[in-house]
Amino acid sequence: MSLKNPDAVAAIVAALRHVYGDEVARLMLVEGMSLANLIDAMFSAPLTHREAIKAITDGLDDFVISPDLGLMWHLKYIYGKEPGSLHVVDMEIATPNGTLASKDVWLRLSG
């Protein structure tokens, strides 16, 4: 399998393994997980917050995303409540047909 962003996928796999163990991480990668589950795992892993967000955004190209988003979509960051906060706490995906919350987006490693 050829990955577009192998370093990002490696960080995601390592975080899932750290949080859930090998078997559950493998199941999540093959069978799928919500974007919300991935975000939670990445924030629980021994990564800086910035590293976690970067790995998620860079790694999305290597995942099959459900529902099918079509060609036009973009990732929206949800920031903490403090005024001027640049601390990402969640993500959404905006499409021409509306915005999907992270719990409504399903990811499965392609290949």
pLDDT tens digits, one per residue of 34-91? 999 999 999 999 999 999 999 999 999 999 999 998 889 999 999 988 887 788 999 9
Tokens describing residue 38: 């991935």
CA distances from 58 to 55, 71, 96 (A): 5, 17, 22
Q: What is the pTM of this model?
A: 0.91
Range 53-90 burial, b when 16+ CB lie within 10 A, else e: bbbbebbbebbebeeebeeebeeeeeeeeeeeeeebeb
Q: Give the contacts of 3 (CB within 8 A, at least 6 positions apart).
A: 9, 62
| Cβ proximity of 90 and 78 under 8 Å | yes
- pLDDT for residue 1: 65
Asked if pLDDT for residue 18 goes beyond 90, the answer is: yes
